[in-house]
Structure 1
Amino acid sequence: MSRQLCGGVGSEKTATPDIQQIADSMKSKIEEKANKTFDVFVVKSYKTQIVSGTNYFMKIHVGGDDYIHVRLYQDLPCRNSEREISAVQTNKLHTDELAYF
């Protein structure tokens, strides 16, 4: 089993129910940042980066051929475990690489 180095971005993984729940809990803030609303909102894949918390990079299907990429930060559990949306990229396709942004 490979281990992710602190500060490095891990490999892309298929989304899990836990990752979907994190995205769902932040959907309204993601929509606000993207200046759009989404009827479809399904996380397809994600990467993580361990920093002073965790950055989640998510590839989210938002209907038709449209995807968005979201960078979400979650503080360490020993703190207050707050989440914030760092960045949203719109007009993405399923084939677009999920990379640091």
Structure 2
Amino acid sequence: MADQVICGGWTETQDADEDTQKICDAVKDQVEQRTNQKYAVYKAVKFRSQIVAGINLSIKVFAGEEDYIHLRVFQQLPCYGGKVELVNVEEGKTKHDPLGPFPYC
């Protein structure tokens, strides 16, 4: 059975795919500036999404050893250019921390 989409609601946590990684790659420079770190390992592993006037994404990224970061990303609708922008980063996460929506700033 297909997942039900609730307008404005967040999806369940899903495994990241190639598209999720491309979005992470698009904001990597912004993430490194905001965290003041360079990531040799930077692999999207899980994500949740919310459809609004674009797509909000919460993404869990493996950052090496036992380090994880959570990203909040907004992707504009294609008719508005489809730009991807980093909204927030949470550092100090672990593999088992739940991935959820978090504050915009």
Gaps of 5+ in 1: none
Between structures 1 and 2, the one with greater strand share: 1
Task: Out of 84-93 and 25-34, give the one that drifted further.
Answer: 25-34
Aligned: 1:16 with 2:21: no
Aligned: 1:56 with 2:60: no
Q: Which amino acid aligns with 1:88?
A: V
Superposed displacement of residue 98, structure 1? 0.2
SS at match of 1:59: strand
SS at match of 2:79: coil
Superposed displacement of residue 35, structure 1? 2.1
Q: Structure 1 length as normaliser, TM-score?
A: 0.95
Distance 1:3 1:34 in 2: 35
SS at match of 2:19: helix
SS at match of 2:78: coil
> 1:69-101 CA distances to partner (integer Å, 9 max, x unpaired)?
000000111111111111000000000000110
SS at match of 2:73: strand
Identical amino acids, percent of aligned pairs: 34
Paired residues, number:
101
Gaps of 5+ in 2: none
> 1:22-64 CA distances to partner (integer Å, 9 max, x unpaired)?
1112111111122221110000110001111001110000011
Runs of at least 4 residues of structure 1 off by over 3 A? Answer: none
Aligned: 1:76 with 2:77: yes
Which residue pairs with 1:95 in the alignment?
96
Distance 1:31 1:67 in 2: 13
Q: Structure 2 length as normaliser, TM-score?
A: 0.92
